[in-house]
Amino acid sequence: MSKLVPDQADGLRRLLAQTRTRVLAFASMGRGLGVTTVAMNLAAALAYQGKEVLLLDEHGTQAGTASATWAVEPLGTLADVANRRLTVQGAAARAPCGVYVLPAVPRTQAGSGDPRTLWEGDVILVDAALDGEGRLSALAQASDELVLVMQPHAASITATYAGIKRLHYAHALRQLRFLVNGVAEPGAAQQVAHNLAQAGSRYLAVSLQPAGCVRAEIHADAAGRLGRTVVEAYPASPAAADFRRIADEIGQWPWRQGTSLAPLPAPVARGTNTAAVC
């Protein structure tokens, strides 16, 4: 029997998987890089595709979080769901765009286990909070993908590379994705993506895959004041188009074996694909 090509093998893994829920964790190596904004906009874009989306927020409900921005009040936390005190629907709040939002502060989620066992929707997004040493929580480690959000300037690039190095040694990560946010010039973002991917491969033996880029959005603050994302408030904006494109592409990302940040199957050799980052 001929050997299965990677696309066929990936299809079989999807068919044989015990759950159809994809879990994606988003993090950044510094403040003000837009990781919460990215997670919220992608959640909204996925919800508008008809997906059932749960956003687990490791930052709780404080100012600047998804709950605060959407002005929703969850009645419980992930710990309440894990301990069977509440269901996800009973604990989470639902944003106007249809996304369920549930606080999941790391210090309260001991024993929460795999979030797929608690909710059977299409996608779970984790707005991850790194600990004081730059490590992932157990919840974020249970994700299928880790996406680091960065911006195309020197300080963010340096901090992101240093953070990747810490994550690699702390969790033995061999592959992760990065998203370039606040892009003014797509060509510059492509060069950032290329350089970062090359450095990760050469010096850390880590495969860094671009998750896309999002153009700088002049309406971002206005959307926030409205308590909405740009995908909801300004759907014709360039950034909203970028978020919808990335949401479409997420469904095509290969599935990993198992239910954690395990290495992806080796890709088919098709040449360098850094030009597709934006």
**pLDDT tens digits, one per residue of 112-125:** 568 999 998 999 99
Give whole-number Cα distances, 161 to 24, 149, 196, 201, 264, in Å: 20, 12, 7, 12, 21
Between 8 and 115, the higher pLDDT residue = 115
Residue 268: pLDDT band with limits 50, 70, 90: very low
Query: 3 falls in which pLDDT band (50, 70, 90)?
Result: very low
**Is 21 or 275 the better-scoring residue by pLDDT?**
21
Q: Which of 198, 203, 125, 138 is nearest to 171 (CA)?
A: 138
What's the pLDDT tens digit per position in 119-147?
989 999 999 999 988 899 999 999 999 99
Question: With bands split at pLDDT 50, 70 and 90, how would you rate the model's confidence at 264?
Answer: very low
Strand 145-150's sheet: what is its strand order? 93-94, 100-103, 53-57, 123-127, 22-28, 145-150, 175-183, 207-215
Is residue 181 over pLDDT 60?
Answer: yes
- Range with the lowest mean pLDDT among 30-39, 221-230, 233-242, 258-267? 258-267
Task: Give mean pLDDT, residues 155-161.
Answer: 93
Q: For the domain bounded by 20-257, which CATH number is listed?
A: 3.40.50.300
When comparing pLDDT for 8 and 261, which is higher?
A: 261
Number of separate helices (H) and strands (E) present in the chain: 11, 8
The three-state secondary structure class of 213 is strand
Which of the four pLDDT bands, split at 50, 70 and 90, describes residue 189? confident
* Of 271 and 152, the one with more pLDDT: 152
Q: What φ, ψ does residue 193 adopt, rounded to 5°?
A: -60, -45
What pLDDT, in 10s, does the model give residues 89-115? 999 999 999 999 999 998 655 555 689
Question: Is the pLDDT score of 215 beyond 80?
Answer: yes
How confident is the prediction for the chain on average, in pLDDT? Answer: 86
Beta carbons of 16 and 61 less than 8 angstroms apart: no
Looking at residue 201, what is its pLDDT? 87
Question: What does the pLDDT read at residue 185?
Answer: 87
User: Who wins on pLDDT, 266 or 186?
Assistant: 186
pLDDT band at 19 (very low <50, low <70, confident <90, very high): low
The predicted structure's pLDDT at residue 275: 39
Backbone angle region of 34, left / alpha / beta, with phi > 0 → left and psi within -120 to 50 → alpha:
left
Could you give the percent of the chain with pLDDT greater than 90? 65
pTM, entire model: 0.87
Query: Does 5 score more than 60 pLDDT?
Result: no
Give mean pLDDT, residues 154-159.
92
The per-residue pLDDT for 4 is 44
Measure the CA–CA gap between 273 and 107, rounded to whole angstroms: 39
The pLDDT score that the predictor gives to residue 273 is 43
Residue 277: per-residue pLDDT: 63
Reading the block at residue 127, the tokens are 């707005």
